[in-house]
Each structure stands twice: as structure tokens, then as C-alpha cells.
Amino acid sequence: MLNAIKLTCTRDERTLFSELSFSVSAGEMVQVAGQNGAGKTSLLRILAGLSQAEEGDVHWQGKTLRRSRDIYHQDLLWLGHQPGIKTVLTAFENLSFFHGDCAAAQRWQALAGAGLVGFEDVPVSQLSAGQQRRVALARLWLSKAKLWILDEPFTALDVVGIEKLTQQMMRHTREGGMVILTTHQPLALSCVRQIVLQDAQS
């Protein structure tokens, strides 16, 4: 279980959120919602251990991230705003780089799952924005991480890509995984719990 405990985040002397507490349990999908600039990415980065809250703490399986760092890194898959893939490599080579422990057949399957059949051997720099996003998301087909933290994963995806990703997130939570995401897309899923960050200025 992930516990956010009384998190306070301040940027440029503006408090984005204060004393924010919530938990995410196995099998849950949570959408962090709010207007542009409300602090969604800031919150996700804190949850992923990439930045620090001014106050409060994040616990994974009952321990602070500091104390559970190694296990947390194994259990977490973070996909940020940027695709975070290597543009000089092909789609297949990217999956080999990030998931060399998976069999080649699994990597091909992951690319097929993400809708990249026919583009496996093209350098990523020559793919469209949506295809590049699909390469990053193909990692979700291979990852054994329990917790996925996804910042705007639907960006640049077409309708088919959105559907594939939605199905993949649902499969993950059905199997006991956890998903925390931000998106400005309406999510037509009854199983998603929302955490809404109010704009401190409004």
C-alpha cells in the first residue's frame, strides 16, 4: 500500500497543496485531477520519490521511501511527461534496453500490444509523437512493477491508443496492481477514484 501523509508542496511561494493525505491499495486506480498548474505533476514526482515535499511523507508498504528505496524502485514504474525513451534506438532496442530480462518474444508481444507492429525496427526519432508515446507505454506490457505512476500517459495517443492503454491499466489493477495517473482526458471508468487538487488561487 502507498500512503501519502500530510503532504505540503510549495512552489515559487505558492502552496499547491497542504496536509494532503490519501492511500492507494492493491487493485486501485487513482486519477489526480485539477486545472493546469494545480500541482498534479509535482504531487506525482513526490510520490515517485523524485522530489521532496516541504512537509509530510510518503510510505510504501509501511516504510518511508527513504527506508524502502531499493524495494520501491523495483515495485515502481514511473512514466513522466516526456516519453523517456532513447531516440537513437529502435522501438525494439528500447524495450531491450529497459527490459533486457524479458525474452525477445515478450518484447515483440509488448510492441504488438502497444500497436507498433511494422514499426519495431524504425529509429524512435523517425516515429510520430503518438508512436513515440506508444513505445514508452509498451513498457507497461513487460513491467512487473506493482505501482504504476503515469503522468499524462494519454498525451498524443489516438482513439485506439487510448483504448489499448485503458485496457492495460484495467488489467493491471484487476491483477492486484495499482495505478496513479494524471490526465485531462475524461476517463469513462467507474473504477477510478479521483483526488482533486484545487487551484490555490481560485
Ligand X SMILES: Nc1ncnc2c1ncn2[C@@H]1O[C@H](COP(=O)(O)OP(=O)(O)OP(=O)(O)O)[C@@H](O)[C@H]1O
* Residue range at the interface with ligand X (CB under 6 A); choices 36-44, 114-122, 123-131, 171-179: 36-44
CB 21 within 8 A of CB 4: yes
In the list 31, 42, 94, 183, the residue contacting ligand X (rule: CB under 6 A) is: 42
CA distance 196 to 109: 36
Examine residue 16 and tell whether it contacts ligand X (CB under 6 A).
Answer: yes
Q: Least separation, in Å, of the C-beta of 33 and ligand X?
A: 9
Burial (CB < 10 A; 0-12, 13-18, 19+), residue 162, is: middle
Site for ligand X (CB under 6 A): how many residues? 11
Examine residue 115 and tell whether it contacts ligand X (CB under 6 A).
Answer: no
- Which lies closer to ligand X via its Cβ, residue 46 or residue 95? 46
Cell 506493482 appears where?
146
- Which lies closer to ligand X via its Cβ, residue 38 or residue 127? 38
46 phi/psi in degrees, rounded to 5 = -65, -45
In the list 4, 34, 56, 141, the residue contacting ligand X (rule: CB under 6 A) is: 34
CA distance 6 to 17: 10
Q: Which residues bind ligand X (CB under 6 A)?
A: 11-12, 16, 34, 36-42
